[in-house]
Each structure stands twice: as C-alpha cells, then as structure tokens.
Amino acid sequence: MAELTLEDPARRDFLYLATGAVGVVAAAGAIWPLINQMEPDASTLAQATTEVDLTNIAEGQIVTIKWQGKPVFVRHRTAKEIADARATPLSELKDPATDESRAQKPEWLIVVGICTHLGCVPLGHQGKYEGWFCPCHGSVYDTAGRIRQGPAPKNLVLPPYKYTSNTKITIG
C-alpha cells in the first residue's frame, strides 16, 4: 500500500513515498546525481518497477515517484492543462510530439523528472506554460512536458508504464 506525504501544503507539488521507501526525492532544482543512474545499488535495482496508486493524487497535483533511482513526475492534469497542451500547434515545438502521443490517458501525464539539458529537476506548475520550469538555466516545459523555451533540447522523457487497473499504474 503506497502512502502520500504532503511536503508543504502551500505547494501543490509534493513527494511520494513508496512502501519501504528507499529514499525521498531530492529537493526540486537539485542536480540529480548521475551516480544514481550509472551505478544503481541493490535497493534501486529492486525497484525496477514501481506501482503508483492514482487515487491519492488530486486533480491539479504533481507527485514525484522514485523509480530506478530517478524522479518520475505523475501529474493529474486539469481540463485546462489538457486543453492547452492539445491546442498547441506542432509547428511551435522544438521537439514536436502530440499531447496524445505523450499521455495514455489525457488526465495523467507521466514523465521522467530530469531536465534534458543538464539534469536538474524542474519545478512543477511554473514557467510561461505552467508545466515545468528548470531553474538551473531557464528551460520551460509545457503541460505535456514538452520543451518550449530555454536550452534543453528535448521533451521530458516518457518512462515505460502501463495501467494495471483504472486507478493504478506500474512504471518500468
């Protein structure tokens, strides 16, 4: 059974602690340690897949999951966030991808929470498009996690995941 913990009720983003949590996701804006990806320890390997119970995530919230040593953002998108993403012409995108191709279900966006520039953890609900903003060098992502401004070359990466029920996903 997974458990959610509010880090700061004033913020809409909060951390997700998996059962037997092996660690808490680093503060937003921190460089995600490369060592984590290159030399995963036993506890990291043990989390080759991570199950997420979506019922605990309210509309408008973003939860950060630790998966294989990396942060993964699970975003319960509002109707406006979905509409904004879907109304964006592909011609405006640096790394063109439709919103439909990035979200198996419109209301849930699941992306690896590592900026594709140099690896910082972007901040949710910030930036011009209210998707994510990376404070390290100013990359701006939209509500589909697509790069819109700044030096990052690519959209936030989509991790492999599948729905195991209407309210549960397995990442990995």
Active site residues: 137
Nearest distance, CB of residue 120 and ligand FES, angstroms: 4
DSSP 14-53: EEEE-TT-S--PPPTTSBPPHHHHHS--HHHHHTSSEEEE
Is 119 strand, coil or helix?
Answer: coil
**If binding means CB under 6 A, how many residues of this protein chain bind ligand FES?**
13
Q: Which of 111, 157, 120, 156 is nearest to 138 (CA)?
A: 120
Give the one residue of 12, 94, 128, 137 binding ligand FES; rule: CB under 6 A.
Answer: 137
Is 54 strand, coil or helix?
Answer: helix
Binding characters for ligand FES, 86-115, by CB under 6 A (x = yes): -----------------------------x
148 forms part of the interface with ligand FES (CB under 6 A): no
Which residue ranges make up the site for ligand FES (CB under 6 A)? 115, 117-120, 134, 136-139, 150-152
